[in-house]
Amino acid sequence: MNILISSAGRRVSLVRAFQKELQNASKKSKVYAADSEPELSAACHVADGFFGVPRVGHANYLATLVKSCKARKITLIIPTIDTELELLAENKGLLAEYGITVLISSMDLIRICRDKRKTHTFFIERKIKVAKEYTKKDFKLPLFIKPYDGSRSVDTYVIKSKEDLTDYHFQNEKLMFLEYLDHDIYEEYTCDLYYGKDYQLKTVVPRKRLEVRDGEVYKALTSNNALVKYIIKRLGKIDGAVGCLTLQFFMNKKNTKDVYAIEINPRFGGGYPLSYLAGANFPKWIIDEYLLNKTIPESFDVWEDELLMIRYDDEILVHGYKG
């Protein structure tokens, strides 16, 4: 019952969470980590073992992944970055032939999540508001610009005057011109949702984003607020959704019925460790469902409200590293 955290990078807390829960289920099982530069990955050094793979998209990526997993008797892969999702979803059946399960939503859902334009349509069909998309000839300031296939807040801009706009903004076909949602009016939340094998929502944890660095939350607060019932009502079942989905919402500070959905990431988000430490034990549920074949009940009230997470930088020391 060995597990792999792929593209592990800095996800030390996620590796440790899976190590703890896997040990509770099987003392002999291990949590491995993989990365394109494993010797320089903190998460790889805290894992029970690690190996290198080519970057996603390289011709040998999949063959190397399969060979390395077979050699270590890895039967479950947990993806962590956007760029690997489509490739792993496309090859879910192939990996299954080697006895390897990938915890990943359906290809249809992955494509919806990876294209923000399709994500907007998905939300609208479920009667969830989204920021208005403008044309590049007819827009209203202030303006928020982001790529339709972006991640980690790369290539995003808040435009408050026409002088801030450049030729790049108009010529880059990937950039969307969107209605700006004012943080003085709206609170921003990242919500960790767990979907079982039956595509049913099992729990939802809203996390208020207090401080973000490089697209990843560094200060956050769990909040059992109106978003919980709002999400249960509209997203209680999503065909093809399994495991952890991370959704972003803006909720009006004075009117909690005024909610906008921003995006979906069908994977663990960087801030998930707060939800885990609050009691939303996704690693245990994954182990129960995918390794022990147990059924997961709804668990909406298992986590601690108003738990504050303040992150800080730490060091991983590797002795004798030759580079």
Which residues of the chain form CATH 3.30.470.20?
110-127+183-310
In whole angstroms, give the CA distance from residue 32 to residue 227. Answer: 35
Report the run of H or E that residue 268 belongs to, with start and end.
Answer: none
Q: What is the pLDDT of residues 130-147, one digit of tens each?
A: 999 999 999 999 999 999
Tell me which residue has tokens 């208020």: 208
Q: What is the pLDDT of residues 38-79, one digit of tens each?
A: 999 999 999 999 999 999 989 999 999 999 999 999 999 999
163, with CB counted inside 10 A (0-12, 13-18, 19+), is exposed
The pLDDT of residue 176 is 97
Q: What is the pLDDT of residues 75-109, one digit of tens each?
A: 999 999 999 999 999 999 999 999 999 999 999 99
The pLDDT of residue 112 is 97
Query: What separation in angstroms does the CA of 3 have from each of 62, 189, 211?
Result: 17, 30, 31
Q: What is the pLDDT of residues 160-169, one digit of tens each?
A: 999 999 999 9
The pLDDT of residue 170 is 96
Kind of pairing, strands 129-130 and 259-265?
parallel
What is the SS3 assignment for 251? Answer: strand
Q: Looking at the predicted structure, is the pLDDT value of residue 299 above 90?
A: no
How sure is the predictor about 323, in pLDDT bands with cuts at 50, 70 and 90?
confident
Query: What does pLDDT average to over the chain?
Result: 96
Which DSSP category does 152 fall into? T
Give me the CATH code for the 110-127+183-310 domain, please: 3.30.470.20
Q: What is the pLDDT of residues 171-184, one digit of tens each?
A: 999 999 999 999 99
Contacts of 99 (CB under 8 A, 6+ apart): 75
The pLDDT of residue 151 is 79
| CATH value of 2-104 in 3.40.50.720, 3.40.50.10320, 3.40.50.20, 3.40.50.1000 | 3.40.50.20
Q: Looking at the predicted structure, is the pLDDT value of residue 301 above 90?
A: no
Q: What is the pLDDT of residues 10-25, one digit of tens each?
A: 999 999 999 999 999 9
The pLDDT of residue 153 is 79
- Please give the model's pTM, rounded to 2 decimal places: 0.95
Please give the average per-residue pLDDT across 26-30, as a whole number: 96
Q: What is the pLDDT of residues 260-291, one digit of tens each?
A: 999 999 999 999 999 999 999 999 999 999 99
